A and B are shown apart, each in its own frame.
Chain A
Amino acid sequence: MSQLRITGGVVYDPANGVDGEVRDICIDNGTIVSTVPGTATVIDARGMVVMPGGVDIHSHVASSSVNLARRLLPEEHLAAPVAAPDLVDGIPRSGTGGTVPTTFTTGYRYAGLGYTTVFDAAVAPISARLSHAEFDATPIVDGGFFVLLGNDEYLLRLIDAGERDEARDYAAWIIAATGGYAIKIVNPGGVELWKRNGRGRTGIDTPIGSSRVTPRAILETLVDAGNALRLPHAAHIHCNDLGAAGNVATTIASMQAVDGRRAHFTHLQFHAYATTPEGGWRSGGRELIEYVNAHPAITGDVGQVMFGPATTLTADGPVEYLLAQSSGRKWVNVDIELETGCGIVPYTYQENAAVAALQWAVGLELFLLSADPWRVVLSTDHPNGGSFMAYPELIRLLMDRTYRDEQLKRVNRKLLAGSALLDGISREYTLNEIAIVTRAGPARILGLTSKGHLGTGADADVTVYASDPDVSRMFATPRYVVKGGALVVDEGHLRRAPAGRRLHVRPGYDAQVERGLREFFDRYSTVAFDNYPVGPLRDAPCPPAGGR
């Protein structure tokens, strides 16, 4: 099926200024074109909603940490078997679901929601081979990953030595060596302190073994590196102090540290808690989103908490230590040599639990008070705040005030005093705004020029939803999904599962950086320098920001 015409649908293509207009979408050989001959296959989308394929900017689907989480959850998987789909071509695979589904099931499920591009937000460089292997086994979606650098020992040494240019070249080298897409910073310096048996909170100016190495210096170095290297996506930042009451001050201080520079702050919800005068929890959502609204260089994703089972899984090892202590749930910690950490704790967000309800409310406040949907986009930090399978429910919360208010009545309001949500927010997202926060916005923030829109030349990733007054049902069950020109979901059924493409970049760098690096590897690494790079990938690298 190389030529397709999706005809008569109501199109939402915000990147091209199309807001609910009846248009035909034409596809030839995997690309959107202006027209196709009459011989093209026709999909009758009359009365339906047409959008670009969804783009998930922050998820955890393909990494050594994700696989450790899968391994930790046999009871979830036993309760969630998934038979192989009935495909018309390709080899169908069975799997298991739960909060951390198996690889094939993950690809099928994302496509089944109309999502066609997914980024894993946290990959330890040393384990990059595993991420590529897992993406190879995650069909349909195009995928890439962000490379963890905020606690990298070699980088910290360069910062300590004042070698910021070399730090930039090192970042470029490691992204190229791992086949990654962007720089990821998790709790800058804080994971290193945890490895040193530090238990306290890491503030923006906490020394990490040296007064010259602080979270602030790490943020500045890596944000500048990402921009100097013209990476399509800015440094992707998980701030210090995740999940702690009062952390909104740290978050805003982190934003100020890179003021005016292109930077992406992730799962804002987990970093938006203020304190009461007595030191208790309260929402810092309004304070944080007002700062973001006023600073156009900042982008973010929300990391909404959804009630129900989740699995918290992060490179932020010390946070998981605290969560394991407070929840008593089973706990995985892996200190990853010279680079980063990993912590995993299964968790359930209960609507009658005060802190979970606060987290839920803070996320919604961020969405509903955001002035620019292009800059604050949708995520649940899957599977941390909840599964990506909860996106349709989240969309309903954003689009339907009545429904939202009903849900608000059910939750524990103990910590919601002063919350904007409790005060009443009438805003309801439009379909156009949903199209922005779920595809056009993430694609733009990621620098994916051929995704998130339906203009001529774009990748033919298209989702067609049957209109339904229940928007959660509508977004959960697309009628058609086209990925790279292939009709993967037909009449609501998954029918094809082609391999996805790998999204990665190959920034240039001064090869001199390899000299010192090789010495460092020879001295301390347990993997040979020559064995470290993952080698050539099947797909060509993506162009740098601003084009070639």
Chain B
Amino acid sequence: MSRSGGPQIPQLDRIVEHATCLGCGCACDDIRVRVNGDLILETTSTCALGATWFGDGRVPTAIRIGSRSGALDEALTATVSLLRSAREPLIYLAPELSCEAQREATGLADRVHGVLDTISSATVLPSILAAQERGRTTATLGEIRQRADAIVFWGVDPRTRYPRFASRYAPDAAGLHIEGRSGRHVMAIDIGPARGPEDADSRVPVNAVDEVDFLGVLTAHIRRPGTSIAQTLDRLAAPLAARLATAQYIALIADGEPATADAATGRGDPQRAAALIALAHALNGSTRCALITLRGGGNRSGAEAVLTAETGFPTGVMFSRGYPVYRPHDAIRTTDRLLVVGDAAQMPTEILNRFAPDARAIIGPRASLHAAVAAIDTGVAGVHVNGTALRMDDVPLRLRPSLPFGLDPAEVLRALRSRVAP
């Protein structure tokens, strides 16, 4: 990503095949990227969202100490000072990191007895907590492609925020045991204004205020056909339950993410998440059902997997006592310094702005766009940085950076950790 000086020698285009796009949680790994020098000229197979995510590959390459430019060494020194001055530092994992960088950040948080939080605490916490309470019946996305004959879009049309979901996974993609769209029955459950796909084979309108109640009634109808609970909801639930009972394999698809990180900050409805899990459990009593929770981009699932492996908890971990403690609701409450790792523009501004510029440092893509004690611009995982990322269903994917130049946050964090505690 550095733009070299010197004489301009014409360069030939390079093609990178099978690049993985982290523009959303679909993590399509069939992208063809045409590159010249340090510019992306064209991407093939991307959706609009993916094309924007790749862009032309240009990201800032600055290193700033306060308001001035500086060297990496100085920026690391400033970051170490910030961490050392903290009573309790917050290390915040924002999107656009490889699992390798997330792993280094986890080790750093452990070392400095800090708090480690991720964007998941602000976005999908209700789903995480409900699944920890009850479990979860799900599938990898390829499995619903192979065999789901009934696809239920619960208040979501994936076209906008997960544009290739339909063509790569379901309902449009052909599977081993089922044809594509024609072999599947697509149901849209419209929750108030949150509508399912317009071309659904059938649809059920539900008032937004009734959503959780309706989930409960539907679950009851699955468990005990012919049951009678609340007449208005029974009228909707009974035929839907009867239809679902005839399916061999149901994909129940709901959105796990708010439209933006700022839209939620942890205030999703825990009852809704729990009720969706209960419905999927009930459907597995007589047929098969996988609950698919749609997730955003930038390797969010990867952060949860790395934290779980190394701390036992997927997000919101306090190391203040020298060991991991789970505080997903309020881990950040007592922190007084912030180190963001990842793209700070994609984290909740409420959290970023809790800390004055002289109380925060940032290591990640476009870090220098934010005021901070130290800001180290790095590459974006998958565009500039190598490694592994997880799809929304936890399937790990190889990253093939098309512009393998510039700083890898994992290496920057490794250097930082060795300075914090040699």
Q: A residues engaging B (CB < 8 A)?
A: 64, 67-68, 70-74, 76-78, 81-84, 91, 93-96, 98, 101-104, 126-127, 129-130, 133-134, 137, 153, 194-197, 321, 324, 330-338, 344-345, 523-528, 530-531, 535
- Assess whether B309 is interfacial by the CB under 8 Å rule: yes
Interface residue ranges of B312-364 to A (CB < 8 Å) = 312-314, 319, 321-326
Which of B134-142, B153-161, B219-227, B370-378 has 4 or more CB atoms under 8 Å from chain A?
B134-142
From A127, A336, A337, residue with most partner B Cβ within 10 Å:
A337
Cα-based distance from A499 to B144 in the complex (angstroms) = 38
How far is B324's CA from A344's CA once the two chains are assembled, in angstroms? Answer: 23
Contacting pair A95 B311 (CB below 8 A): yes
B133 within 8 A of A: yes
Chain B: interface residue total (CB-CB under 8 A): 63
Shortest beta-carbon distance, B30 to chain A, in Å? 6
B268 interfacial by beta-carbon distance below 8 Å: no
B287 within 8 A of A: yes
Residues 170-205 of B contacting A (Cβ, < 8 Å): 174-176
What are 26 pairs between A and B in contact, CB < 8 Å? Answer: A64-B305, A67-B309, A77-B326, A81-B323, A84-B323, A93-B310, A94-B311, A95-B310, A96-B311, A96-B312, A96-B324, A104-B310, A129-B396, A153-B176, A330-B134, A332-B137, A333-B138, A335-B140, A335-B288, A335-B290, A524-B145, A524-B174, A524-B175, A526-B395, A531-B398, A535-B398
In the bound complex, CA of A95 to CA of B313 (Å): 10
Q: Is the CB of A77 within 8 A of B313?
A: yes
Question: Given the complex, which residues of A lie within 8 Å of B131, measured CB to CB?
Answer: 71-72, 332
Q: Which residues of B have CB within 8 Å of A195?
A: 143, 147, 249, 288
A531–B20 CB distance below 8 A: yes
Min Cβ gap A264→B in Å is: 28
Contact in complex: A197, B18 (CB < 8 Å): no
Q: Indicate whether B207 reaches chain A with its CB closer than 8 angstroms.
A: no
Q: What sequence of 0s and 1s flags, for each residue 394-420 of chain B, a beta carbon within 8 Å of any chain A beta carbon?
A: 111110100000000000000001000
Q: Is the CB of A71 within 8 A of B139?
A: no
Given A81-B323, A102-B312, A331-B281: A127 and B396 within 8 A (CB)?
yes
Q: List the A side residues contacting B326 at CB < 8 Å.
A: 74, 77-78
Smallest CB separation, A158 vs chain B (Å): 14
Q: Are B140 and A70 in contact (CB under 8 A)?
A: no
* B272 CB-CB contact with A under 8 Å: no
For the residues of A in contact with B, the DSSP-based class is: mixed
Contacts of A535 in B (CB 8 A): 398
Asked if B111 and A91 make an inter-chain contact with CB atoms under 8 angstroms apart, the answer reads yes
Smallest CB gap from A331: residue in B:
B135
Tell me whether A94 and B319 are in contact (CB under 8 A): yes
CB atoms of B309 and A70 under 8 A apart: yes
Chain A residue at smallest Cβ distance from B321: A81
Residue from A77, A95, A196, A526 within 8 A of B141 (CB atoms): A526
Q: Give bound CA distance, A234 to B421, whole Å.
A: 45
Question: Which A residues are CB-close (under 8 A) to B321?
Answer: 81
Q: B8: which A residues are within 8 A, CB to CB? A: none
B293 within 8 A of A: no
Q: Are B29 and A531 closer than 8 Å at their CB atoms?
A: yes
Which residues of A lie under 8 Å from residue B397 when comparing CB positions? 527, 531
Check A72 against B135 for contact (C-beta < 8 Å).
yes
**B388 at the A interface (CB under 8 A):** yes
- Chain A nearest Cβ from B228, distance in angstroms: 25
Q: Does B85 contact A (CB under 8 A)?
A: no
Chain B residues with CB under 8 A of A338: 142-143, 146, 176
| Given A331-B135, A337-B139, A527-B397, CB of A78 within 8 Å of CB of B310 | no
Distance to closest chain A CB from B256 (angstroms)? 15
- Extra inter-chain contacts (9) besides given A331-B281, A336-B140, CB under 8 Å: A67-B309, A72-B131, A77-B326, A153-B146, A197-B248, A332-B135, A335-B288, A337-B140, A337-B141
